Structure 1
Amino acid sequence: MSAFDELFAQHAATAYARQLALADLIGERDWQLDLTEGVATFGGDLRFPIQLLGTESHVDGSWLWAWANAVSNLPPQLLHLSEWMRSYGSSSSIPELTEPSFPLDRADGAHLALIASGLTGRCYYRGPYDGGAVFFHLENLPAEIVAPVSPERAFLVVGQVIGAFPLDHRITLLSFLDQQGWSVSDNTPALVVGTHPGGSEMRVEFDDQNRMARISGQVN
């Protein structure tokens, strides 16, 4: 497993949980991005400061980090996050975080944005435009957006993130339970049992390929 894949598995589920909470907040609102002011607005009532991450080009199928986008003359104050990710990638020897651009089939915006969310506690938004999409992270969100999720949603998140991305199931599950404040009372090749502080229990059975085969439990 590459360092990038391991990092993604460690942070995908908690970051995904934050994205679900953000979707609940934004709903069907339209979005607008003001690079001069450094803010994103959603509908007429939501407004958040932003940090730019990068862009996907659907013309050539590539990713471009915001710090490497010299052509667009982006405001330096909006590049702190992408530059921090570059520094993290350099210190952790993860080339996907340090190379200016690469094909999307190597790492797309969703993977990169989820990692950034997991590492920094932010949420991201994917803003589509003709020929591509811009990925930016939102700041000053309501506390409940980034708070640990309810046990009910934890079950939902685990099932959805495993279905949505190819990743290491065990690393993903154990990282998520730890980040969400669950204790692990059993961790064997065939079974992981997590217990929420409120008493809810999640039992995850694994097959001989170390993939999740069945999720069960109880919610209190």
Structure 2
Amino acid sequence: MSEVITLANVLDDAAIFSLEHQVRLEEVVGEHNWHVDLEEQRFEFAGSRALVCSRVHLLGSAAPGPGSWLWAWANPSGYAEPLIAHSVRVREFGRQHGIEQLAAAEVPFGALPGGPAEPRFEPARVAGALLDAAKAVTGCWTHYHADVGSGTRAAFLIEHPEFRLPPPEFPRVMRVLQQAIAELGLRDHRRAVHGYARLRGLGAAFTPDHAKLTITGPDFTIGVEFDQYNRVGEITARSGAETL
């Protein structure tokens, strides 16, 4: 029987790989200002360096007034099809798998798994969560969201060759895993860590009881142990060809 796909699953699958792409974005653009022209479908950064994205995709917006997210395909402004095509792909995925939050035009903040605890952070957190879901569906892994007035946050997927991740190296992978476990609201650590290893192109093998996951890279091995609640209990690692 095939697995039933839920929004919580999609978010856990995407979370850590998404985080690493956002770390990469910070490395590329540094301190910056940003500008978008939706009619011209142009997104650019200025500041420590100037960079014009090769493509921009408007996903939607999170507004504190109604307390809801509006997908770009449903926005009455009527944006150009190429600009909102990724939001349409997410809608079709949501319809296919019965995930209402991805299929409905408007999504109340409280409809998301583990809704935000602090109202003042809701638009940013909601935008981040639905961007992560969109990344898993579209394969476009770098995002940007920002306040566009009155607390509303517009959310974009953006593309540029420099946003691609460098080859996986031991210090970077360990840093990303540790940051994710400490900072992200992961629901199922076991699923999230395995999803990251798979998306990063690393070897990933569970013990028969799924209590430990061994991640192997070109010059490192990382062992991640989980408790009965699917939380990370311990991480051990070695660089070089040795195995754990």
Output the TM-score relative to the length of structure 2: 0.81
Cα gap change, 1:144 to 1:60, in 2 (>3 Å): closer
Structure 1 unmatched runs, 5+:
none
Does 2:35 correspond to 1:32?
Answer: yes
* Counterpart check, 1:135 vs 2:155: yes
- Aligned-partner Cα distance in 1 for 2:111–2:27: 30
**Structure 1 residue 82 displacement after superposition:** 0.5
5+ residue gaps, structure 2: 113-125
What is the total number of aligned residue pairs between the two structures? 217
- After alignment, is 144-153 or 130-139 more displaced? 144-153
Alpha-carbon spacing, 1:81–1:144, altered in 2? closer, same or farther (3 Å): closer
Q: Which amino acid aligns with 2:69?
A: W
1:75-86 alignment, distance < 5 Å: 75-86=80-91
Residue 212, structure 1, aligned to residue 232, structure 2: yes
C-alpha RMSD of matched pairs (Å)? 2.0
- 1:152 equivalent in structure 2: 171
Say whether residues 1:91 and 2:96 are aligned partners. Answer: yes
Shift of residue 185, structure 1, vs aligned partner: 4.0
| Cα distance in 1 between the residues matched to 2:133 and 2:165 | 14
Query: CA-to-partner distance for each residue in 1:136-166, whole Å, 9 max, x for gaps?
Result: 1112x12562455433222222222233113
- Indicate which of 161, 177, 190 corresponds to 2:211: 190
Q: Does 1:65 align with 2:86?
A: no
How far apart are residue 105 of structure 1 and its match?
3.1
What TM-score results when the alignment is normalised by the length of structure 1? 0.90
1:119 aligns to 2:140 (yes or no): no
The Cα shift of 1:2 comes to 6.6
For 2:215, the aligned partner's letter is G
Q: Paired residue for 2:121?
A: none
In percent, how many aligned pairs have the same letter? 27
Q: Do the aligned residues in 2 keep the contact of 1:169 with 1:211 (CA within 8 Å)?
A: yes
Q: For 1:52, what is the secondary structure of its paired residue?
A: strand
